[in-house]
Structure 1
Amino acid sequence: PREDLILQMKDVSKTYTLRAGKAWAKPTIVNACMGLNLSLTRGKTLAIVGESGSGKTTAARIALGAELPDPGGEVLFRPTATAEPVAVHAMDRATRTAFQRDAQMVFQDPYSSLSPRMRVQDAMVEPLEIHNLGDRSSRRDRAAEMLRLVGLKPEMLLRYPHAFSGGQRQRLSIARALMLDPSLIVCDEPTSALDVSVQEQILQLLEDIRDRQNLSYLFISHDLAVVARIADEVAVMRRGMVVEQAPPETLFYNPQHPYTKALIAAQPEPSIDRPINLKLVAQGAGSPDSWPDRFKFSGISAPPLVQVEPGHKVRCHV
């Protein structure tokens, strides 16, 4: 049987042209993503790990249809196991509306993702109002049910977001993302703004909900420890390219790429208690021209991603 993929990114690149401040200077071209090929199996978690500026958030935005990939790249989404794949960037209006229900996002900052002027209940039922689903009482019931699911009490619906702690707000954001009963959730650094003890709880919650609702997660993070715990597959990104990709157990115990090795050396035992400064780590990897010959590349002429063992790909010369 073919693999049940909910999301596929095929040859996705994204180039931005930045105009220079001075009229005579040449504009610079920024390659945010280059040649991404990623597949997410239904019910699983695919994590993209990388330092800030590695292109991971751009990849997530393209996956959700919020940004267009460069010509030649495409994103395919399959709402159900039997459905035909839909091209995310070529949807008609009805298909896009359906996709917006199926694919939701949980953001990094629980403080800014909820409007301070809306009661929790209004923020929670808003997605149902936008999509014109249910009547007032069924919407309220759904909001109460989702709060219970994320470990909060339904009586909290009448409060305002400022009455909640960071961890509780992140639970609210997750509950709101679940209101439309999505099948795919993009988590953009959902724990990085939280204390370590709270991170652990939120990860546990995300895992429980994934397994209970058969959700699929595209999980963006700069922290390998977080990812080691929740992901089924990890893609390590550096400057717009995936340099290594494997299940976490392979990646942690048999890393091949100098960049991945540097990330792991900084955090040999995946532990959420030791957050990681990727800027320092990346320096530990050195510049690409100091890497062993098989990994070297200059500019954007990179070696290909090669399968070195089943399910384990590394960007290197063969």
Structure 2
Amino acid sequence: MTSSISTSTPAGSSNPSPSADIRLYKNRASYSLQAALSIFREAPIAHIAFVHPGDPGDKGRGETIMNVPLITVIVLEEDGDEDDHNDYSVYLHTHRHSGLVEAVLDGKHGITATTTKIDGMIFSPTAHDHTLNYRSATLHLSSGRLLDDEVGSKEHEEKRKVLGIVTNTVTGYDRISSVGVPDDAAVKRTTVIKFKIEKISCKQRYGGFNGAQEPQEEAPKGKESNSFTGVVPCWTEWGEPIGYGRDVKEIKDLKENKSRGGREFAEKVAWADDEIRIEGLGKKRQQR
């Protein structure tokens, strides 16, 4: 990771550096912790980028850049300040022989976690300006460390708690209260890596094809026969539960509410509603 420079940022923001600074479309940039957390809640599967040290021996692959999708869990420390990124830990769970584990054990730095949520399709009157409305967040992570596998250890219990949070993150509610916490065997055979957040950067695009403006529903005079110009909102639609259980009705209601909320948000994005702007959007990185 490149060296940082001294900055002054609003509360709830990370301390940006050249490694996290957004240089283009600064009006779409945010360095807010809360913005990043909200995006990761919506899209918890992040792409984890890192440098793999290479395989041992002459016949193995050499050092290479890798990028893998993993469920990302961000946890506020007990009694931590919810507006201080230093009080959060990022956990990734994977196989003990994964490339990410090998990179962490080799001491590789510069690991990032990036997620993106698509909110709409933009149809422009010209071929050049077709694009997507979206929110994205990147966490620049510290060098990670593997949590201890020994049953009964403090870190083993930390792993158990984190794997429970993974379950709740996947389902979108407190599923652990229904099915119980992971058992010792499940905790022991799963590798969990713990990171701290060093830097944060987010981006958001919303509105019509001209950006941050409402789309037009009626064609301007003389353009009535043009191809469609506007926005198609996009959101995750959750289907009918397939399975069994005493709480299937609650699961159905939960997913219907999530689908409805996603649609309402995406439609506000299309109309450039101020309610959907992520925190800190468009604020410049201040240097001192």
Normalising by structure 2, report the TM-score. 0.27
Greater percentage in helix: 1
Bigger-Rg structure (1/2): 2
Normalising by structure 1, report the TM-score. 0.26
Between the two structures, name the one with larger relative contact order (CA 8 Å, sep ≥ 6): 2
